[in-house]
Structure 1
């Protein structure tokens, strides 16, 4: 995992990876802006203009903290193939030559599936988060573990979809549960660090690429 991390840090300097980072950030910000406008428009119908502006701002702040991971990973699924391709071309040229493009349709399905799994899992875990509030750190630990598991699945699929069919993908997931869980925990930790959280999706995709090809060797 340390090898994957340091190799991924190097990949952040790749112009192709930088372009994907810029595109994914623009789309993510547009999504959050749309949420803010939607909240403001809805509240403005029954509350005063000032109250609507305050509520929309609060919603954006809370949404940024709670949902940034969901939106960022879902958006990355749209562009993740470009990140993986850039990393493969640089470090695994033979695998890059044998890979197949994921395509926009499959990328959209993967992105929506990622967002749906993250929202569903965290909604199911919400009573647990609330029950652990008295422990102070309990909800953070539970959130960390649940989202580590989810991210390990999402990031692994971003790479595996270029090389494996569905049956082979299930086999690879089963064989790499522990490694992918550690990967997911590492990237979830990055999401909790200001500024680092902006790079977490791209860094995670690059790490997943190195993990995938390292495990197949």
Structure 2
């Protein structure tokens, strides 16, 4: 079931509809990161450099070069920080387009089923922020556990597998169910959803490809929700027939 859902998601990943969502997400991500870069640069020049000049007004010329080197080092540090932010920022922006991804999968792969309902704008923004928090929290925890020998990679997969599986499955389920029903369905199938989350975590671990993680995860969980719903429906019908 999990591998079938992953395969189906991969088959859609580079379709024209998904590429459109990805390019919109990537474009907005680059705009946000460029804005953060310019803002941090202006803040540094406004606050740090005048303070340095005022504190050391009569230093020799070579000290100015030290300040220049420090500014370059700060710029490189900022660039590294922004590079680390690419994945989380992509996640929060992609969260705004996940309903588009789900709608494509439902329309193309399940045309006989009624389509799901997109989340209202406020819950969609809240869920987008949750995706951002999940990515950041998962990677912070994994980064801290890098200090513990023998568990670092395992920690990355366990933490991200649980968090990503939970959030993306509930997103897919809430297109057809209330939040309470989606959470209950997720709890009843916790093992399956966790294993699916591990597949998403493996996708997240691949550089550059990980920018597509929200799109892949959303598509995969739409398929998995459909499969789990069909399985539970068949189980209920069998129980009714035998009762």
- TM-score > 0.5 by shorter chain: yes
Counterpart of 1:113 (choices 125, 130, 135) is: 130
Partner of 1:183: 196
| Alignment partner of 1:216 is 2:224 | no
* Alignment gaps of 5+ in structure 1: none
Conservation of the 8 A alpha-carbon contact between 2:117 and 2:175? yes
Q: Quickly say closer, same or farther: Cα 1:189–1:140, change in 2 above 3 A.
A: same
CA contact (8 A) 2:91 2:135 kept: no
Moved more, 204-213 or 69-78: 69-78
TM-score normalised by L of structure 2: 0.76
Q: Secondary structure at the match of 1:198?
A: helix
Q: Which moved more, 1:5-14 or 1:51-60?
A: 51-60
Secondary structure of the 2:206 match is coil
Larger Rg: 2
Q: Which residue of 2 aligns with 1:29?
A: 30
Gap change, CA 1:141 and 1:166, over 3 Å in 2: same
- The structure-2 alpha-carbon separation of the partners of 1:181 and 1:18, relative to structure 1 and needing over 3 Å to count, comes to same
SS of residue in 2 equivalent to 1:93: coil
**1:109-150 Cα distance to aligned partner (Å, 9 max, x none):** 111122234445655x37952651xx1x53333233212211
> For structure 2, which runs of at least 5 residues remain unmatched after alignment?
50-66, 231-243
1:99 CA displacement = 1.6
**Aligned pairs, number:** 211
Give me the whole-angstrom Cα distance separating, in 2, the residues matched to 1:130 and 1:12: 31
Cα distance between partner residues in 2 of 1:15 and 1:118: 26
The runs of 4+ residues in structure 1 deviating greater than 4 Å are 47-50, 120-123
| Cα distance in 1 for residues equivalent to 2:203 and 2:96 | 21
